Amino acid sequence: MSGSEFPAGEFLTPEERNLSERFAAQGYLIAPVENRGALDQIRTHVAAAACSALGIAPPPDGKEGALLDRIHEHVGPDRLNGLRLSVIEAMAAAPWLRPAYFSLARQALSTVVGNELAMQRRVNLSVQLPGDTASLLPIHADVWSGDSPFEAVLWVPLVDCHGTKAMYLLPLGPNADLSERLHSFAERSAEDIYRSVEPEIAWMEVPYGHYLLFNQNLAHGNRENGEAETRWSMNCRFKGVFTPYADKKLGEFFEPITLRAMSRIGMDYRLPGGFDE
Amino acid sequence: MSKVERRGYRGYIGCRPVFGNRTAQHVQNLVIRDYAQRHGLVYKLSATEYAMPGCYMMLNQVLEELPALEGVIAFTLFMLPRRPERRVAIYRRVLAAGASLHTALEGFALHSEDDIDRLERIWRVQSLQIPSLQSS
C-alpha cells in the first residue's frame, strides 16, 4: 500500500470531500434519495391521510403523486390549514416516519453534518395551492429566527417541484452581501428585502425522488405558486448532537438520533471517587 | 378599488430572551392561542421576531399587514421596542389602522389612546427594575 493513497492531512474520502465542497460552495445539494422505498411509503401515508381528512377515496397504487398535485380540486385556501394539520398529525402518529425520513439522505447527512446527529422532533409539511397567497414564507434565514447556525434542512418534495412551485435560495455571495446590509431594512418589509435580491435568487428544481439538503443560514422562502399543480414538501432540521444549540433546544425541538456507543459510554462514565487530598 | 377584508389577529412571538427570561416559541404560541380563544379572537399563525438584538423587522412586517388584520396579539408587552418613543409610535400606528394590540401574557389590550398611558406606566415601572433601561 503506497503512502500516496493517503495525502497528508486528508481524512475525508474523495467522495466525502467532493460532497462537502459542493455543499459549502453552493449552499445546497440536490440528489436522488438514498431510500426510494421509504419515500414512496411516506407519500402513500400522506396521501391516505389527506384523503381521509377530505373524505375522498384514496388513490390507486402509483397515483398518489397525481392526487397530491391536483389536491386543489378538492380543497380551497380556507380549509387548507385544517388539512395540513390533519396530515401532520397523521405523520407524527407514525413512529416509523422519522427513521424513514432520515434514511432518505443518511449518507449525505453523515458527510455534511456529522454521524452523531440530533433531528427535529417533528417533520414539517408545506402544502401550497396554485395561486394561494395565504401560505407564503417570506424571505428569511432560519438562523435569524432562533435556529442554530449549525443546522441543515433536509427538504423533500412529495411531487415534482419546479418554478414557483418550489422554493428559492439566495446563493452564498449575494447572501453575504445581504447580511451586511440587512440592518438597512429595519423599518422596511421582507418584501423589500426580496425585491432587492430577486435577480440573484436560485429556484430549486427538485423532482419527486430527490432531496434538497440546504444551509438554512442562507436566505430562502417561497412565492405565490404560479404553476398549475399543488406543492407538497416536507422539511426537517438536523445538526451535530454536540454542536451549540440556539433557541430551538434539545428535548423541546431536537432529539439525539444516532448517538454512538463511545459517546453513550463517555456520558455515563464517572471517575473513581472517594480519595482524600 | 375593492376594500381588503380584515380578518383575524396575527400572533407575534420572539426568540430573544425578554429581560433575561426565555420562553420556548411553542409555549409563546400556546399562551397566544389560549388568549385568543378566551377572548373570542381569530388567531393567525405567529410571526417570529428575529434573533438579532434591537431588530424589529418582523414586527414591522406585521404592522404593514394591519390593513388586512383586526389586530395583533404579542406574547408579552415587554417584547416591544425598549425605546418609549418607538413603542408609542407602534401603539399609534395600530390605532390609526383601526386595529387593536393585545399582549397575551399580561392580558392587556390597546383599543384607544387612553390605553397607551396604562401600558406605558407599566413599562416605566418595569424599566426601573432594569438598570440598563433607566437612561432610555
Task: Give the mean pLDDT of A184-206.
Answer: 93
Chain A residues in contact with B61 by the CB 8 A cut-off are: 138, 189-190
Q: Is the pLDDT of residue B81 over 60?
A: yes
- The residue assigned the cell 393567525 is B44
Min mean pLDDT across A1-15, A81-95, A125-139, B100-114 is at A1-15
Tell me whether strands A117-120 and A254-256 are parallel, antiparallel or unpaired: antiparallel
Per-residue pLDDT tens over the stretch B46-61: 999 999 999 999 999 9
The CATH number of A13-242 is 2.60.120.620
Taking residue B86's Cβ as centre, other Cβ atoms within 10 Å add up to 13
Task: Give the mean pLDDT of B90-101.
Answer: 97
CATH class of B9-133: alpha beta
**Closest A-chain CA to B56:** A186
Q: Is B24 on the interface with A (CB under 8 A)?
A: yes
Cell representation of residue A27: 449552499
ipTM for the predicted complex comes to 0.77
Residues 6+ apart with CB under 8 A from B22: A247
The amino acid present at A31, given as its one-letter code, is: A
CA gap A114, A112 in Å, rounded: 6
For A251, left (φ over 0), alpha (ψ -120 to 50), or beta? left
Confidence band, pLDDT 50/70/90 cuts, at residue B126 = confident
CA gap B101, B119 in Å, rounded: 11
Q: Is the pLDDT of residue B1 over 70?
A: no
What is the model's pLDDT at position A124? 96
Q: Is A146 on the interface with B (CB under 8 A)?
A: yes
Q: Is the pLDDT of residue B31 over 50?
A: yes
What backbone phi and psi angles, to 5 degrees, belong to A90?
-65, -35
Find, among A255, A252, A167, A165, the residue nearest to A218 by Cα: A167
What is the model's pLDDT at position A3? 63
**Contact between residue B42 and residue B9 where contact means Cβ atoms under 8 Å apart:** yes
| pTM, 2 dp | 0.89
Per-residue pLDDT tens over the stretch A52-61: 999 999 999 9
Residues 6+ apart with CB under 8 A from A175: A27, A141, A217, A218, A219
What backbone phi and psi angles, to 5 degrees, belong to B120?
-70, -30
A32 beta partners = A210
Q: What is the mean pLDDT of chain B?
A: 91
Task: Give the mean pLDDT of A88-104.
Answer: 98
Confidence band, pLDDT 50/70/90 cuts, at residue B136 = very low
Q: A145, A180, A184, A188: which to substitute to probe chain B, counting the most B Cβ within 10 Å? A: A145
Taking residue A69's Cβ as centre, other Cβ atoms within 10 Å add up to 21
**Closest B-chain CA to A183:** B55
What is the model's pLDDT at position B132? 65
Helices (H), chain A: 14-26, 36-54, 64-69, 77-92, 97-103, 106-112, 172-181, 190-197, 261-268
A200 beta partners = none
Domain boundaries, chain B: 9-133
Domain boundaries, chain A: 13-242
Percent helix, strand and coil across chain A, each rounded to 5? 40, 20, 40
**Contact between residue A127 and residue A70 where contact means Cβ atoms under 8 Å apart:** no
Min mean pLDDT across A97-106, A226-235, B118-127 is at B118-127
